Amino acid sequence: MIEERNDMQMDFDEDAQYTERKRILFFGLPWTFTKYIIKPSVITVDAGLFKIEENDCYMYKVQDVKLTATLLERMFGLGTVICYTGDVTTPELRLTHIKHSREVKNYILKASEIARMKRRTLNTLDIGAGADIDDLDS
């Protein structure tokens, strides 16, 4: 679990494990209108100034997580976490230019596995399973 309590840029709620604003690459300052909220059961992305868009993805739908960091992101201590999900609206959820990106990635991996175990869901791949439909007896 991520327990950063003394960083001034991070806000914490009693439910949220991690709250962060998207940052610009210039000095890594949080001057954007995108906010990421990660809770044990859901990831929420709030974006926009005039038109606010809120996008949620349940943690049990996260199938894989990838961390990328460009040279500029590494210089300012930032990274981008990409969550590959089974969600219809956002199959690829990006948490762009965030601090503590490695810890966030590890937390999402663990929390998604725990959420899948709680819901008793199973992720399987559909690799050509439709080709064998003619072999079924009626």
Chain segment 83-106, per-residue pLDDT in tens: 999 988 889 999 999 999 999 999
pLDDT at 6: 40
pLDDT of 136 reads 54
Note the pLDDT of residue 20.
87
pLDDT for 66 equals 98
- Confidence bin at 8 (pLDDT 50/70/90): very low
- Nearby residues of 64 by Cβ (< 8 Å), 6 or more positions away: 83, 84
- Is residue 39 a part of any domain in this protein? yes
pTM attached to this predicted model: 0.74
Domain CATH number, residue 25 = 2.30.29.30
pLDDT at 12 over 90: no
- 38 in any annotated domain: yes
Does residue 52 sit within a domain?
yes
Number of domains the chain contains: 1
The predicted-structure confidence for 40-86, as pLDDT tens digits, reads as follows 999 999 999 999 999 999 999 999 999 999 999 999 999 999 999 99
Q: Which domain holds residue 101?
A: 18-120
The residues that bridge with 136 in the sheet, in sequence order, are none
Write down the pLDDT at residue 3. Answer: 46
